[in-house]
């Protein structure tokens, strides 16, 4: 009979498991020692969390109290009324969170000039954007938590807000963070070649101003998290809608002071993300911290209204670009000034610099340019923090350069397609490094251009455009040559000292039935990555696709970086292919031993072991696996069956696989209403070998639609006090199916060198070029009127303003903020 102390959960020690030291293990190792694990103590005491005790706590729900102001100081918080509300378990403030959690702050070892402020998961003293959490209500249900949250009374001291990035950088501007002493988060200048001399010698110089509207990600599934903390083991289990579970495992461990191996993050099927679920959000860290405080499961789901106030937004830029060309249309130089508005904080841990840095360095990378200069300034402002969004900065650089090329072509009376052809990097120039520092192995720029001109019947389309203009119908044709950085290598985040891996692993095994289970280090957010992995494994092993089960998104499984930057098949696919090849060899080794033959003489085809020479069936795959697992007595003693394999893959590029392609847009503008009708859209993409054509083409279509939405509909609008005016789906417009054109897709194949499969990424290509193609097409349609637009999205108001129907507002030049002109529209 157990002792009374054991029944009461007393401090009685467990008996030693063993007393003899095993000679193969050193002193101090767990082997041979009497170790009482917490799980054993739980079972002995009867106080474990997973018993039938009906008094054990159940999951509770969170609702956050968010700041209604964009900039304010917290003078006090009264939680008494909320605590008294039925169903409320606890009301948590920033001070409570600080007892168990460290603050967030971006630090980049390779960019020490980046200045960032400390950010608490729940604000303690001051808030920097509308929607920043200031308290959290924990209750039995979400409804009760939301109702009680309305009873939390915050004593605010409202502070001046600054929302315009140019104004934020001006002398005397209100400080978003007084501790920083400035709103300048980062600045950099990139220059290569004699830019000023090139402009002085040019036959044509064109200039254009660009206003890129801030956009929201609007993923189908909002952010959600369930955090379950076990105080007996000091372990944390998190189920989260996130793109990178291994990153979050590290972040939860670091900020909550937990051992990393005691933290597990599961991110299963994620309903879309587009980059917004790549970051560490304060409310999600707070959810886990509250689970630690309470010792019970805690759930938080951001509804759509909260998403507009808390999810990362992106792509707020003001820019002025210039291009110099000689009389033959050769680009001599480009010079671009960029100002990026990143909101109240540099988003953790990657920072909010990615948009700006990639926009500044990718400029004109596809073209043979003699001289290059870009200036980047990044400003804090009292808005939602800016983060990653499909393409990260590349849609900005693509739109700027492609529009400048069109303007130069017009000034020199050169066809826009021919202008591009004359300036492309040629096959003999690769490998090449762009003037902005982008390293490229091999691109297919001219073949892609030739293919798209054929697809769209370009000459006929231009002739039709000319005839319709005579009839008062204004159509435009626009091109956008794009590069897509995919599958980032260690050179992207390694120098910054961030815990973000470029490596993925694959763990694969045969089951006794002859089917295959595969764990992969990437994750899936709706792209179909796991289907592609299963295809690679099935093809490599010679078994049907239905015999392969692929799992991902679990930090307790295969190590990897998750889903971002079009890395899934390009990285995890390589790891899966290598692991499957090893597993195939292991299986055939066993089969050869059973058949008393040579491994090289055998093959796997459709669940069978066959002779390579004549395809004759020798044994079923299932029987070989059965022998390996259960009948090892049938094998020679020197054969140890290993029906599992593990492999890793790290891109050795510096730092990307570069895909490329070109898009074209055909549209019509109604000069009376300003309405734009999309008629046709084409894309020719080179993403290397294509594993699944349906998945690839639909990724391109989805990306194009997202880019068209940014071009024509989407913009996060704030007033001067930092209040969001487009904070619902009734106000923030997204593209609908009826408004989208037919999208024609074709491919050019250039395998990625240095890889087994030759795959490049494809997930962002559509978005990168779509906005630029529309921009060029809109200004092409407006060319007979002698006007052009520079403000995205191209709403009817923007078009009518350009046509002079609506008065033109003054526009601030990002290079010379004191100069005001009215030609941005």
Tokens coding 661: 């392609």
Rounded Cα distance, 624 and 510, in Å: 10
Please state, rounded to an integer, the average pLDDT across all residues of the chain.
Answer: 92
Instruction: Count CB neighbours of 23 within 10 A.
Output: 7
Rounded Cα distance, 712 and 689, in Å: 33
Tokens coding 660: 């490329």
- 416: helix, coil or strand? helix
CA dihedral for 386, 392, 394, 399, sign (positive or negative) = negative
**What is the CATH number assigned to the segment(s) 313-490+653-821?**
3.30.365.10
- 334: helix, coil or strand? strand
User: Quick one: pLDDT at residue 3?
Assistant: 36
CB 486 within 8 A of CB 391: no
CB 41 within 8 A of CB 5: no
For each successive 10 residues of the chain (825 residues), what is the average pLDDT? 33 34 49 45 32 56 98 98 97 98 97 97 98 98 97 98 98 96 97 98 98 96 97 97 97 98 96 95 98 97 95 98 98 98 98 98 97 98 97 98 98 98 95 94 96 98 98 98 94 91 97 98 93 98 97 97 94 98 98 96 96 96 97 94 97 86 98 97 98 97 98 97 96 95 97 95 97 98 97 97 84 53 40
Strand partners, 433: 439
CB 676 within 8 A of CB 667: yes
| Interval 788-823: pLDDT, tens | 999 999 999 999 999 999 887 665 555 555 554 444
CB 259 within 8 A of CB 250: no
CB 574 within 8 A of CB 649: yes
CB 585 within 8 A of CB 597: no
- DSSP output for 239-303: EE--S-HHHHHHHHHHHHT--GGGEEEE--S----TTGGGS--HHHHHHHHHHHHHTS-EEEE--
- 348: helix, coil or strand? coil
| Interval 746-777: pLDDT, tens | 999 999 999 999 999 999 999 999 999 999 99
How many residues would you count in the chain? 825
- The domain segmentation of the chain, as residue ranges, is 51-159+223-301, 313-490+653-821, 503-649
| pTM of this structure | 0.92
Tokens coding 152: 């939390």
Residue corresponding to tokens 């699944």: 692
Instruction: Count CB neighbours of 152 within 10 A.
Output: 23
CB 504 within 8 A of CB 571: yes
* 503-649 classified as CATH 3.30.365.10: yes
CA dihedral for 405, 408, 414, 415, sign (positive or negative) = positive
Check for a shared fold between 313-490+653-821 and 503-649: yes
* Domain 51-159+223-301 fold: Aldehyde Oxidoreductase; domain 3 (3.90.1170)
């Amino acid at each position: 009979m157990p002792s009374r102390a054991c029944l009461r959960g007393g401090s009685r020690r467990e008996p030693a498991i063993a007393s003899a030291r095993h000679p193969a293990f050193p002193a101090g190792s767990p082997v041979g020692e009497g170790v009482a694990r917490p799980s054993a103590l739980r079972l002995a005491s009867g106080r474990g969390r997973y018993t039938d005790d009906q008094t054990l706590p159940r999951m509770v729900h969170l609702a956050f109290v968010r700041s209604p102001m964009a900039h304010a100081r917290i003078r006090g918080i009264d939680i008494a009324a909320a605590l008294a509300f039925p169903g409320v378990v606890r009301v948590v403030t920033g001070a409570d969170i600080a007892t168990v959690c460290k603050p967030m702050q971006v630090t980049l070892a390779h960019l020490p000039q980046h200045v960032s402020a400390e950010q608490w998961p729940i604000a303690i003293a001051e808030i920097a954007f509308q929607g920043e959490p200031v308290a959290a209500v924990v209750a039995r249900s979400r409804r009760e938590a939301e109702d009680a949250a309305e009873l939390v009374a915050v004593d605010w001291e409202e502070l001046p807000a600054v929302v315009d990035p140019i104004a934020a950088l001006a002398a005397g501007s209100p400080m978003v963070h007084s501790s920083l002493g400035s709103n300048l988060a980062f600045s950099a200048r990139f220059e290569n070649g004699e830019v000023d001399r090139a402009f002085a010698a040019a036959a044509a110089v064109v200039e254009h101003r660009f206003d890129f509207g801030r956009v929201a990600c609007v993923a189908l599934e909002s952010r959600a998290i369930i955090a379950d903390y076990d105080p007996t083991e000091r372990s944390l289990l998190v189920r989260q809608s996130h793109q990178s579970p291994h990153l979050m495992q590290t972040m939860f461990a670091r900020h909550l002071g937990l051992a990393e191996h005691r933290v597990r993050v599961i991110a299963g099927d994620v309903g879309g993300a587009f980059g917004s679920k790549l970051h560490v959000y304060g409310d999600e860290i707070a959810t886990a911290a509250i689970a630690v405080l309470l010792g019970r499961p805690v759930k938080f789901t951001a509804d759509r209204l909260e998403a507009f106030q808390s999810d990362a937004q992106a792509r707020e830029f003001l820019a002025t670009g210039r291009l110099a060309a000689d009389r033959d249309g050769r680009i001599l130089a480009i010079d671009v000034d960029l100002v990026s508005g990143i909101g109240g904080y540099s988003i953790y841990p990657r920072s909010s610099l990615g948009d700006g840095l990639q926009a500044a360095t990718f400029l004109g990378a596809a073209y043979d340019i003699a001289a290059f200069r870009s200036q980047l300034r990044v400003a804090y402002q009292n808005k939602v923090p800016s983060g990653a969004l499909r393409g990260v900065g590349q849609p900005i650089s693509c739109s700027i350069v492609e529009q400048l090329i069109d303007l130069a072509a017009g000034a020199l009376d050169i066809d826009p397609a021919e202008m591009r052809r004359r300036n492309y990097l040629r096959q003999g120039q690769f490998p090449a490094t762009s003037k902005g520092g982008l390293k490229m192995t091999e691109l297919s720029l001219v073949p892609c251009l030739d293919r798209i001109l054929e697809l769209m019947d370009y000459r006929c389309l231009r002739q039709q455009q000319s005839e319709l203009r005579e009839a008062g119908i204004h159509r435009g044709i626009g091109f956008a040559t794009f590069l897509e950085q995919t599958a980032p290598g260690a050179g992207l985040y390694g120098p910054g000292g961030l815990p973000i891996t470029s490596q993925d692993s694959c763990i694969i095994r045969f089951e006794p039935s002859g089917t295959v289970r595969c764990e992969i280090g990437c994750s899936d957010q709706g792209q179909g990555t796991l289907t592609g992995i299963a295809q690679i494994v099935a093809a490599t092993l010679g078994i049907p696709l239905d015999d392969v089960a692929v799992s991902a998104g679990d930090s307790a499984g295969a190590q990897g970086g998750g889903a971002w930057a079009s890395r899934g098949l390009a990285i995890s696919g390589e790891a899966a292919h290598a692991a499957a090849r090893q597993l195939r060899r292991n299986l055939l080794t066993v089969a050869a031993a059973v058949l008393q033959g040579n491994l090289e003489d055998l093959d796997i085809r459709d669940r069978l072991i066959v002779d390579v020479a004549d395809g004759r069936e020798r044994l079923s795959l299932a029987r070989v696996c059965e022998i390996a697992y259960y009948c090892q007595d049938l094998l020679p003693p020197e054969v140890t069956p290993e029906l599992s394999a593990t492999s890793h893959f790290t891109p050795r590029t510096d730092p990307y696989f570069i895909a490329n392609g070109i898009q074209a847009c055909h549209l019509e503008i109604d000069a009376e209403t300003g309405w734009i009708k999309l008629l046709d859209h084409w894309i020719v993409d080179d993403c290397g070998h294509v594993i699944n054509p349906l998945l690839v083409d639909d990724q391109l279509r989805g990306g194009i639609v997202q880019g068209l939405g940014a071009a024509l509909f989407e913009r996060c609008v704030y007033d001067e006090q930092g209040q969001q005016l487009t904070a619902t789906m009734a106000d923030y417009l997204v593209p609908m199916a009826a408004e989208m054109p037919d999208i024609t897709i074709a491919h050019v194949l250039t395998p990625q060198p240095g890889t087994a499969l030759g795959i490049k990424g494809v997930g962002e290509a559509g978005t990168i070029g779509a906005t630029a193609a529309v921009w060029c097409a809109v200004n092409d349609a407006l060319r007979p009127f002698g006007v052009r637009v520079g403000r995205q999205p191209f709403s009817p108001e923007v078009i009518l303003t350009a046509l002079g129907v609506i008065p033109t507002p003054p526009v601030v030049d990002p290079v010379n903020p004191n100069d005001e002109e009215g030609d941005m529209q």
